[in-house]
Amino acid sequence: MIHITDELEDSAIDIAFAIPALRHVLSWIYPFTKHARIFGNFMNHVRDAMRSRRSGKGPKGPDLLRIIMDEQMAALKNHLETASDRERYLDDQDITSNIVILLLAGYEAMSSALSFLTYLLAKHPSEQNEILKEIDQLFPNRGSQQLSYDELRKLKRLDMVVKEGLRLYPPVPLTVTRRCTQDTTACGQFIPAGVNVLASSWLIHRDPVLWPNPEEFVPERFAAGSSERYPSGSYVPFGLGPRSCIGRELGPLIVKSVLIQLLQTCKLSLLDSVASPVRPHSRALTLVPKDGIKIRVERRLTREAA
């Protein structure tokens, strides 16, 4: 996956976004690129996993692939009687494509979120202490034992920190894309029907009209009751509406779990050579630190050392 995302940066995708007229030509070139071969190998792994599960050799647990395959079998048993049924039916190619996209999107987005949140926690060491203090107060004598789903949801300070981190550095800065269905005027700008409209979560999250002192890291923005002051659509790290990111619930929980494991065992601080604020860079669709982030990681000998 790392090879795939690195290759994306210099791939034809960037050109296709910059010069839409070339998309048709590039679609013929793409199958012969290194990225296409790597992507194809990844899809083959998913197909192998599907064959393994159908033969009864794969894992039995109810993961995403199993759930989709079970729905496929249920649809086949119902004989797809109507045209509408056939339109909704997912064949093997549909399943493979969706699983690959979900895996790649989830991996890259979580990697981006963790990079910037680690930077913010290293820059604001007091937040590390606040998070650990909350864990000790709610779950004394747990040590470094992993917290459950319900326990993670009780960590309000961690939730505030993660939300503020996603506001400052949304993993996918060009999140919301919609097609205008009728002629309309918004903010004095005429938009004809059929035009694609793209809303940047980066710009929305740093609009001083919506967010006072938008460049500052202020987790208290998301304290209980505080977030109600912000209008709908002002916080969109995972998009907006029925087509928002499918990982909007799972992604933050995974990020929180990783951060807790890290903070319980390590103390983070920035090296003097790290630029502040860190310079972001959009690699294809995902936001990453332009020059990387160098962080000093020290083992916590005891919790009191926090």
Q: Which residues are annotated as a binding site for heme?
A: 245
Binding-site positions read 245
- Whether the Cβ atoms of residue 164 and residue 206 lie closer than 8 Å to each other: no
Task: Name the DSSP letter for residue 134.
Answer: H
Number of residues written out for the chain = 306
Enclosing H/E stretch for 178 = strand 176-179
The total of other beta-carbon atoms located within 10 Å of residue 236's CB is: 22
Q: Which of 222, 218, 178 is nearest to 199 (CA)?
A: 178
Exposure class string for 106-126: b at 16+ Cβ within 10 A, else e: bebbbbbbbbbbbbbbbbbee
Residue 178 burial (C-beta neighbours within 10 Å; 0-12, 13-18, 19+): middle
Enclosing H/E stretch for 295 = strand 295-299
